[in-house]
Chain A
């Protein structure tokens, strides 16, 4: 029994890693512009398709990773500059609809260019092997996901908490006016936050494709929403909260599917949303947040 549980833990960690990667970027953006970025999920899709294209062109994997990061950063910076800057200070709901519109534009443009057919996405054969340890088996893919995510998160935390740029981002997220008085180029800082957050989401796309084996232009919607739920669980706007929320959500979802009877497992997405509503009503500040926004 406990072996089964342990197995689920490993699966949950892998899924949670994906959610955490997307959630962190989402949280960084929310922290700095106070807007839910609906298009964030679509960056996962962009990362996945970019990977597909590069692999088909014969680019070696380490370079693919690097380029996906760059493409994600560029796409994110563009979205941030063109769409979000004009929206800062607009009513919450206006921003929400606008980012939803952007997401729809991205999804449908991808549909037009790529068609809705799911594409197969295969990691090199070695990734599908399974590794056994302590009675638990995990695919190399899952282990790679867990490991790579941990690395990226470590790098991100270093940037945010140990560099001047990171401190400037945190300062801007807290108090834009004071940041300006320090001479911080607020506009540039916002774009950088978008770039970094989006790069992480794009990598999540690369990993997502490898894990689930199939990608299509509408793939971003679900990860985007679940990233939002993860952020709410951990505390919106806090990077630590997004991390925690992402892993918790992954674990919760896997446990739900693993422990509930077969018929109920199709309701995994409903479960996630019910969780969201419960948390918003019961502990709206999440598990990590210091200040509470007005949301209920």
Chain B
């Protein structure tokens, strides 16, 4: 579904992503793990059109055609079904829960469809229905994460980009979120997941990549990487 080839991205003078290439097949959950500063967030920001790439290509193939994300405007990318749930949630604190969800559906115009998606999101996260008139800034960390995901779902994503969903969440909440993620995959959404919490990510990933200094260092299935000695030592803290 997503083919990234030869991606080079600079932030200021720093060469962050160096000839990055990887694939995400339709319907699968791919995980990108790596240390801080390896370039994980940069990758997602570039895929969503918020950062300019120096060179390379990132082609998304849906049933309706293909689109090179590197040459498209952010709005076009969202309309093509590539939706990001950014690092730190980035919900609109001064808007209500309902308004946040409505903003997620900004690129869609069919009111009936939007209403249906909203119902689905409410079913998935009942708290969002309960607190629909609350200002988003008043929600707890876990609730904000649910709102962020709900908002992303309202864009009817085909490819969902998740940037550090577990960040700052209590362990119980992390499990809940990851259950939701697995459920989403089961319903047909392709997912690209960035996580520092490598253990949980590798557990649910079909395919996984280790990003080191802007390049893919190790690639394989989730299980393969979880069993890889190097990965275990450096990223899972197991063994010595």
Contact surface of A with B, Cβ cutoff 8 Å: 164, 167-168, 170-171, 174-175, 177-185, 290
Please indicate the chain B residues that have their CB under 8 angstroms from the CB of A184 in the complex: 75, 103, 106
Are A178 and B74 touching (Cβ within 8 A)? no
Are A183 and B92 touching (Cβ within 8 A)? no
Let me know if B99 is at the binding interface, CB within 8 A: yes
Query: 8 A–B contact pairs at CB < 8 A?
Result: A167-B99, A175-B90, A175-B92, A180-B49, A181-B50, A182-B155, A183-B74, A183-B75
Partner pick for A182 among B49, B93, B106, B137, CB 8 A cutoff: B106
> How many residues does chain B have at the interface if contact means C-beta atoms less than 8 Å apart?
26
B121 to chain A, nearest CB (A): 15
CB within 8 Å of A: which B44-93 residues: 48-50, 74-75, 77-79, 83-84, 86, 90-93
Are B102 and A181 touching (Cβ within 8 A)? no
The secondary-structure label for the interface of chain A is: helix
B166 to chain A, nearest CB (A): 19
Are A167 and B95 touching (Cβ within 8 A)? yes
Are A183 and B78 touching (Cβ within 8 A)? yes
Contact surface of B with A, Cβ cutoff 8 Å: 48-50, 74-75, 77-79, 83-84, 86, 90-95, 99, 102-104, 106-107, 137, 151, 155
Are A178 and B90 touching (Cβ within 8 A)? yes
In the complex, what distance in Å separates the CA atom of A181 from the CA atom of B104? Answer: 9
Are B103 and A167 touching (Cβ within 8 A)? yes
In the complex, what distance in Å separates the CA atom of A178 from the CA atom of B83? Answer: 11
> Which of B75, B77, B107, B151 has the most A CB atoms < 10 Å from its CB?
B75
> Which of B49, B106, B137, B155 has the most A CB atoms < 10 Å from its CB?
B106
In the complex, what distance in Å separates the CA atom of A171 from the CA atom of B84? Answer: 16
Are B93 and A174 touching (Cβ within 8 A)? yes
Closest to A186 in B: B74
Closest to B80 in A: A183
Closest to B93 in A: A174
Are B106 and A164 touching (Cβ within 8 A)? yes
Closest to B137 in A: A290
B152 to chain A, nearest CB (A): 9
B190 to chain A, nearest CB (A): 18
Are B155 and A183 touching (Cβ within 8 A)? yes
Are B95 and A183 touching (Cβ within 8 A)? no
